[in-house]
Structure 1
Amino acid sequence: MTVRETITPRLDLLLAFMMALAAVGTAWAGFQSAKWSGVQANAYAAAGAARSEATREATGAAQRRNADIISFTAWLNALNAEIIDDPSLRPEGGYTPDRKRVSGFLFNRFRPDFRPAVDAWLATKPLFNPDAPPTPFDMPEYQLPAETVSEGLVDEADALAGTARTANQRSDNYVLTAVVFALVLLFAGLASKATHSSTRLTLMVMAAVALVGCLVTLLMFPVEV
């Protein structure tokens, strides 16, 4: 038996082993690509749901703000009319609502969440203090919980969209790795059919380099289970 006859079966065995690894790597890359595609789809769906909920909360906050503006404007107009009729009613600091008057009626029907801002604004003596904020809406006490919730949901949606983009990139990376594994299968298959030793060796080296590179890359990629 010649040296060539001894080496050839070993090379065939090595090629078969390389092709087996490439086949397993291709299957694993395809599986991971599908898993990361699922992560992407779920993240985008969750981001869409969060944005829809954020829009709903923002709409609710806008409605409450408009109601506060209308009620405050109505109260201010009523108070102004009462002061014009009776200047002694002009507040010299704080304000005590009189239920017998329209202004008192309107004041007592401010939203509970709006009252702290109004009280804080009145404490600045806006009728006498030129440095007082123009309206209660400029006070830090004026808070709309729905608006805060909406902003949180928008941040959550942005984070989920980022997760989806990352998952999409990882899925693409696995697809690219599967393509390189396919090249390994091609080179190894051509090497097994090559008749010239130099051609066979070149194809084997190319397949081996691509295979090692893919395997090392797979070890570095995150895994979705």
Structure 2
Amino acid sequence: MTPEQTRDRWSRAQEIVAVFVLSVTAVLTAWCGFEASKWGGEMSIAFSQASSARIQAASADGEARSARAFDLTIYSAYVQAVGDGNTELADYVEARFTPEFAVAFDAWVADGQVENGPFVREEYVPQGKVEAEELNARADAKFAEALENNQRGDNYSLLTVLFALVLFLTAMSQREVAVWATRVLLGLAVVVAIIGIVIMSTFPIRI
């Protein structure tokens, strides 16, 4: 085989490799764009869910504040009746304690009324408080999830840039320059493509 034939074979092989790299990289670039878009959508959904949970938590917290204000009003009337020595009125008011406050009041009385009042007892959980805490926790979780999804979308976008570099190097390797330069450029493109594929394999997929 003459040196010219050898060069022709290397040239054809290089062209085949270049076409293969270009084709694969084009598909991978499109895939990264698709995944970046999907994770961007997931981020928007998570942010919306976090906002909705936060609004619901605020509503539940308002309900808890209203319940506490009502219990405080009833308790004030009870204290006033006890202070006036009006046992009948005190019993009447006590019978109208809310279930949540009655539990804390009974525990407070059973422990000898050591604390300043039943409101500081851990048994006192006004209606809406637990729901508000759960919704706030859900909002925090969804917000963190949205940030994570945003980062995943950014990662795929960065990979798109990396694969664009592969396309550039491969295209440059096809220009009429020194043989060693074309081989170096194509080899570098293949290495960068392999690195990109390895990195992409570690990323989560959303269909």
Report the TM range for the smaller structure's normalisation. Answer: over 0.9
Tell me how large the CA RMSD over aligned residues is. Answer: 1.4
Residue 224 of structure 1 pairs with residue 186 of structure 2: no
CA contact (8 A) 2:67 2:127 kept: no
SS of equivalent residue, structure 2 residue 85 = helix
Structure 1: any 5+ residue segments left out of the alignment? 84-97, 127-131
Q: Which residue of 2 aligns with 1:207?
A: 189
Alignment deviations for residues 132-166 of structure 1 (CA, whole Å, 9 cap, x no partner): 11111122321224111111111111111111111
Residue 102 of structure 1 pairs with residue 89 of structure 2: yes
Q: Aligned equivalents of 2:7 and 2:152: distance in 1?
A: 44
Select the residue among 38, 41, 48 that pairs with 1:38.
Answer: 41
Letter in 2 for 1:124: D
Q: Which residue of 1 aligns with 2:167?
A: 185
What is the CA-CA distance between 1:33 and the residue it aligns to?
0.6
CA contact (8 A) 2:39 2:152 kept: yes
User: Percent same amino acid at aligned positions?
Assistant: 29
Select the residue among 123, 127, 132 that pairs with 2:110.
Answer: 123
Q: Aligned equivalents of 2:184 and 2:175: distance in 1?
A: 13
Q: Aligned equivalents of 1:204 and 1:194: distance in 2?
A: 13
Alignment deviations for residues 75-132 of structure 1 (CA, whole Å, 9 cap, x no partner): 101210126xxxxxxxxxxxxxx5xx32222222211221121122222333xxxxx1
Q: Aligned equivalents of 1:27 and 1:15: distance in 2?
A: 18
Select the residue among 39, 55, 69 that pairs with 2:72.
Answer: 69
Q: Which residue of 2 aligns with 1:114?
A: 101
Q: Aligned equivalents of 2:79 and 2:160: distance in 1?
A: 71
Q: Aligned equivalents of 1:146 and 1:7: distance in 2?
A: 76
CA contact (8 A) 2:100 2:127 kept: no
Select the residue among 16, 21, 26 that pairs with 1:23.
Answer: 26
SS of equivalent residue, structure 2 residue 174 = helix
TM-score by length of 2: 0.93
1:129-168 to structure 2, matched below 5 A, reads: 132-168=114-150
Q: Aligned equivalents of 2:111 and 2:200: distance in 1?
A: 65
Letter in 1 for 2:99: P
Alignment: residue pair count:
204
Letter in 2 for 1:141: E
SS of equivalent residue, structure 2 residue 205 = coil
Letter in 2 for 1:115: A
Residue 12 of structure 1 pairs with residue 15 of structure 2: yes
Q: Aligned equivalents of 1:18 and 1:194: distance in 2?
A: 19
Q: Aligned equivalents of 1:40 and 1:143: distance in 2?
A: 34
| Larger relative helix fraction | 2
Q: Aligned equivalents of 2:24 and 2:152: distance in 1?
A: 21
SS of equivalent residue, structure 1 residue 82 = coil
| Greater Cα offset, 32-41 or 144-153 | 144-153
